[in-house]
Amino acid sequence: MTNPGFHDLSLPLFPTPAGDEDEAPAAALSGRLPSYIADHRKRLRSRFMEGGAQALPDYEMLELVLFRAIPRQDVKPLARLLLDTFGDFNRVISASPRRLMLVKGVGEAVVQELKIVEAAAQRLMRSRVMHRPVLSSWDALVDYCHTAMAHRETEQFRILFLDRKNVLIADEEQAKGTVDHVPVYPREVVKRALELNASALILVHNHPSGDPTPSQADISMTSQVQDAAQVLGITLHDHLIIGKSREISFRAEGYL
């Protein structure tokens, strides 16, 4: 039986199919919002506007996100449950919809709000690196890779394509894999670089385990891509492995 304190309500922007057991009945929307909830929400929004995100702990940031999805109930218990389940704010918003839906009280409206926040964060970080010289904005590039990949549950392999001035002209996901493996085909990597008229590459993939230490397979694959690229005059600048809280650069570690 669904906990009545965690019913998940969708706003008109995200209509919910009839019969969704995770959603509260429409009757719950009638009447005024209880004053203690309305006052709490008002205070929380004011603190955020005055002090920014740094003024709020993770559970209160989650409450702000959940306000839209659950407009008539106290969302603090669900915010804390999500943090207990996934660990921190970043892991909550980047968790897969399937895993989120396993949390009691989470329905489609909550998943949609969390995924909107995740997409907005990734788009903002991406805008700071696209069509800019990569080597002079390296920290922003690493931040973007962490935002996009650090908390994924399976391995993802991305390729960053650069022009002759080392300006990032494309960022593409080439493959998805399992929790500890992603298939990479050097010939396909180089083929795509030629299609985009790229002069240089940066390889990026994540380690869901959190430890970015490269495996022997990672080292071997990187060497194969480098050899294939060199034949066609394409430079492999680096291969980044993204962990939960840090990254490994093949060039900095002497693998390239």
Contact 200, 228 (CB under 8 A): no
Q: What percent of the chain has pLDDT over 70?
A: 84
Contact 72, 9 (CB under 8 A): yes
Backbone angles phi, psi at 229, to 5 degrees: -70, -40
Q: Which domains occur in the chain, in start order?
A: 4-122 (no CATH), 132-249 (3.40.140.10)
By mean pLDDT, which of 153-162, 182-191, 200-209 is the weakest? Answer: 182-191
In order, the DSSP letters of 93-157 are: HHS-HHHHTTSTT--HHHHHHHHHHHHHHHHHHHHTTTTSBSTTSHHHHHHHHHHHHTT-SS-EE
Coil/strand/helix, residue 73: coil
pTM of whole model > 0.75?
A: no
**Over the stretch 68-121, which tens digit does the pLDDT of each residue have?**
888 888 899 999 999 999 988 988 988 889 999 999 999 999 999 999 999 998
**Over the stretch 10-36, which tens digit does the pLDDT of each residue have?**
343 334 333 333 333 333 444 566 677
Residue 100 burial by Cβ neighbours in a 10 Å radius (0-12, 13-18, 19+): buried
Coil/strand/helix, residue 239: strand
